[in-house]
Amino acid sequence: MSEFDHQTSLSRVEAEQIVRGGVDAGRLERHPAERLAAQIDDPIVREVALEGAAESKRRGKGDAVSVSRNVFIPLTNLCRNRCAYCTFAKLPDSPEAKTYTLREVDEAVRVAVSKGCCEALLCLGDKPEIAYHSYREWLAHNELRDTTDYLVRACRIAFEGGMLPHTNAGILSEREMAELRPWNASMGLMLESTSARLREKHMAHYYSPDKDPELRIRMHEQAGQLRIPFTSGMLLGIGESAVERVDTLLTIRDLDDRYGHIQEVIVQPFHAKADTPMAASDSISAEEVAAWVAIARLIFGPEMNVQAPPNLAPRSLELLLRSGLNDWGGISPVSVDFINPEAPWPELEVLRERTEAAGQRLVERLAVYPSYLLERPDFFEPRVREAALERADQSGYARPRAGGTGVEAA
């Protein structure tokens, strides 16, 4: 436990000194970040953090807040993990178990393209073929060598169908990521938390071998070595402490310092769901989410893309817009959020109006951010970069296309 867990309250002047020091230095280091985090529930400290984070965001991103119009394709919801908060993972005998055929992937891509979507978010549960004989039989029946073969074919279908794939398939090996890289604009894995405590008995990840922090950090490292634009992030409220949250953010930052591949960091709140072991746990409030978005911005500085999902705080978008975020993530006009199906996406036009009412400007992006697309060609297979550039304007954001919603392109 950190010495800062039990420290006396920060005064406003002390909080302002910490925040101002972080803003001016371009990043907040561990010691001051832990001091700030220990007192972030104090309304005065929180307000100071929000103000500083908003200033840091303005310095790096101006008034722009981006969004990606996507389709969410959960290739299979079979998963060997049993996270205590998850409703996505299903058992093979569940009536809700679903594995997409490649024909169904093609159909989903066609519909999404017709609605102006550009990003294909391809997700699935961790290591289903290790856990389930019936899934291995399904792969064999469909002439698929393994899950990686399945993923590669699905990504190729999405790419050749006119979309830019972004794969988030849980823990992948270096070989698997290398096979997927030629068909993906970006990839991702939420680090979630560096807390090893969460794998202990009665904790959120006890039945989840793929949530071992060391495994997830190793995949981040391998993605960096492969030069893949990568999404990471932190999950709030699953039993971790404030100090562990700071450590999670600093670990992601260290990985980006070493490899330069972290294109965005998501700050995602836990929402209690019925029929899960954590159903009676308190969900994270919008105020706490905003506070930790602000801390993330202060830790990463003005250039990182910091994201918070708008469907998980629909009544508090204005508060989040004060917290230093510059991205809303993927919003789909054709699919639900399969991880949080109880939380519908906001309409893009409504999101634009509320973003503008808060004094900021909504811009549409691709599955990869402009700084990578325009400045780092070695992070892409040439055909993927060429396809992305064809869909981008001169600023690297998405060009207007059929099915548009009035969202600004640059």
Instruction: Please check whether residue 15 lies inside any domain of the structure.
Output: no
Position 3 scores a pLDDT of 43
Task: Check: CB of residue 207 under 8 Å from CB of residue 81.
Answer: yes
Instruction: Please check whether residue 11 lies inside any domain of the structure.
Output: no
Instruction: Please check whether residue 52 lies inside any domain of the structure.
Output: no
Position 6 scores a pLDDT of 46
pLDDT average per 10 residues of sequence, the chain (410 residues): 58 97 98 98 98 98 98 97 96 96 98 97 96 97 97 98 98 98 98 98 97 98 98 98 98 98 97 95 96 98 98 96 98 96 95 98 98 97 98 95 51
Instruction: Please check whether residue 14 lies inside any domain of the structure.
Output: no
Task: Check: CB of residue 234 under 8 Å from CB of residue 193.
Answer: yes
Instruction: Please check whether residue 288 lies inside any domain of the structure.
Output: yes
Position 7 scores a pLDDT of 58
Contacts 24+ apart (CB under 8 A), 105-108: 105/73, 105/75, 105/154, 105/157, 105/158, 106/157, 106/161, 108/71, 108/73, 108/334, 108/335
Instruction: Please check whether residue 243 lies inside any domain of the structure.
Output: yes
Instruction: Please check whether residue 13 lies inside any domain of the structure.
Output: no
- Exposure letters 279-291 (e unless 16+ CB within 10 A, then b): eebebbebbbbbb
Q: What is the DSSP letter of 220?
A: H
Instruction: Please check whether residue 407 lies inside any domain of the structure.
Output: no
Terminal-residue alpha carbon distance, the chain: 45
Closest CA to 399 of 173, 69, 63, 174: 69
Position 2 scores a pLDDT of 45
Position 400 scores a pLDDT of 82
For the record, the structure tokens of 138 come out as 């399904």
Closest CA to 366 of 172, 182, 222, 229: 229
Q: Using CA atoms, how far apart are residues 222 and 227, in angstroms rounded to an integer?
A: 9
Q: What is the CATH number of the domain that holds 276?
A: 3.20.20.70
Domain encompassing residue 158: 59-390
Query: What are the phi and psi torsion angles at 381 (to 5°)?
Result: -65, 135
Q: Using CA atoms, how far apart are residues 188 and 166, in angstroms rounded to an integer?
A: 7
Q: Into how many domains does the chain fold?
A: 1
